[in-house]
Each structure stands twice: as C-alpha cells, then as structure tokens.
Amino acid sequence: MEDLLSNLKIVVNEGLFQIEPSTSKIGKKIVLNSVDMIAELGFEKFTFKKLGEVIGSPEASIYRYFKSKNQLLSYLVSWYWAWMEYQLVFETKNIVSPNIRLEKSIALVLSNTTDNFSVEGIDLKKLHQIIISESIKSYLTKDVDIANKEGAFQNYKQFVERISKIIIEINPDYKYPQMLLTTIIEGAHLQVFFGEHLPRLTNRQKSASYITKFYTNLVQQSIKAK
C-alpha cells in the first residue's frame, strides 16, 4: 500500500480525543487498527476489548486516548473530512473559474477510491467504507449537542462551508448550498450502501459512475435554477 503525503499531518479538533493518538505507539496502533476493525466488523460489533486484543493492550489503555467508542468514530470521521479538505484545497488551487472549482469539488466528494492508498498508515479505502456505513451514526445520537460543542463535527462543517462558498460565487442568490451539499454527500453514501445491499431502493447501473452522474446533474440543475 502506497503512502501518500508522508511529510504532512492531518490535524483534527482537540475535543476528539483525550490524548493525541499520534504521540505514542499505542495511540497510533489504536487508530490504524480501529479503521481495519470497524470496516470489517461494523461499528456495533467493534469493541475496545477486541481492539485491545489485536493491539496487545488492555481495553483500559484505549480509554486513555478515546473516552468512548463514539469519540473514536468521530475522530476517524473528522480525520476523513480533514483529509478531504486538504485534497479540496489542493485540487482547486489556482483555478480561477468557480464553475471548474465546483466541478472538481463535487467530483472529489463523490469519488470512490478503488486503489489501495494510505495516509499516516490509515487505509483510505477502508476509511471510506466506514464513512459510507458508519459516519452517520456519529451524529445521529442523543448526545449530538454535547459532541457538537466539543467540536466533533467542525471538520465536516468546514468542508461543506468551503464548497458552499464556491456555489455562492456562481449563484449569489442560491439559498440552500449547505442543504444541497449534505444531501448529495449523505445521499451518495447511502446509494453505495443500497447498491450493495438493498438494490430495490436505488437504480444500480452497469457503469460504476452512475451515482456520480446522478448527483453531479442534481447539483448543476439546482444551482442554475432561479
């Protein structure tokens, strides 16, 4: 697995961990192995005990880094959006036309990595699987307001905000940029899941890019419309 960006570090909000995991061997192991394990077991069946067995440390040690399973999930999700924002900035740099910038942004949002790449040792393909099936669980809880105050969703908000600004550049009268973006982001995740497990709830096509095409069209129509 090729490691991208070996000289840069993705930074997430302080409220997303107890001890910054990259500061110790055990911390790094927690993050890397939790990605593999959550992708494989799903969030419900993933436990700190099982993770402890894999990394060779007791559960209690993991709690020093993350106060709960949910905080760890939020950390991974935020890490994903921080990495996405980095790519967004990189991909749209020096491009004058907001239309082309938006096009590239949407392509990034809807892209489905099939190659095996890693950043800081994190398997990007597996992380993307987690985003598709589990990320929504990090905010659909009764503790969402507390987590939100701790900054758990800042990276996601920031990412959405950045693309929203491009939309506003293109059409200053458009009233729903955030709404449109979260609709296509969460929608695209869901359609991938439906395509695999509940095909009657989507319209899977032979070509793998049907989801991208569908949502790209949706954005273009929506923004153009008065």
Packed helices 177-197 and 154-170: angle between N→C axes, nearest 10 degrees: 120
Smallest distance from the beta carbon of 165 to a second copy, in angstroms?
Answer: 13
What residues numbered 69-108 form the site for DNA, per CB under 7 A? 69-70
**Helices and strands (H, E) in the chain, number of each type:** 10, 3
Q: Which of 68, 205 has the CB closer to DNA? A: 68
The site that binds a second copy (CB under 8 A) totals a number of residues, namely: 49
Q: Which of 96, 140 has the CB closer to a second copy? A: 140
Phi, then psi, of 122 in degrees rounded to 5: -80, 125
Residue 155's Cβ-count burial label (10 Å; 0-12, 13-18, 19+) is buried
Q: Which of 24, 222 has the CB closer to a second copy? A: 222
Say whether residue 18 binds DNA (CB under 7 A): no
Say whether residue 64 binds DNA (CB under 7 A): yes
| CA angle centred on 107, ends 123 and 174, rounded to 5° | 130
Residues 123, 138: Cα–Cα separation, whole Å = 20
Q: Which of 99, 182 has the CB closer to a second copy? A: 182
Which residues on adjacent β-strands are paired with residue 117? 2
Q: How far is CA 201 from CA 132, 140, 192, 193, 198, in A?
A: 16, 21, 11, 10, 6
From residue 159 to residue 178, the character string flagging contacts with a second copy as x (rule: CB under 8 A) and all else as - is -xx-------------xxxx
Interface contacts to a second copy, rule CB under 8 A: 41-42, 44-45, 133-134, 136-137, 139-142, 144-145, 148, 153, 156-157, 160-161, 175-180, 182-183, 186-187, 190-191, 193-194, 197-198, 200-203, 205, 210-211, 214, 217-218, 221-222, 225
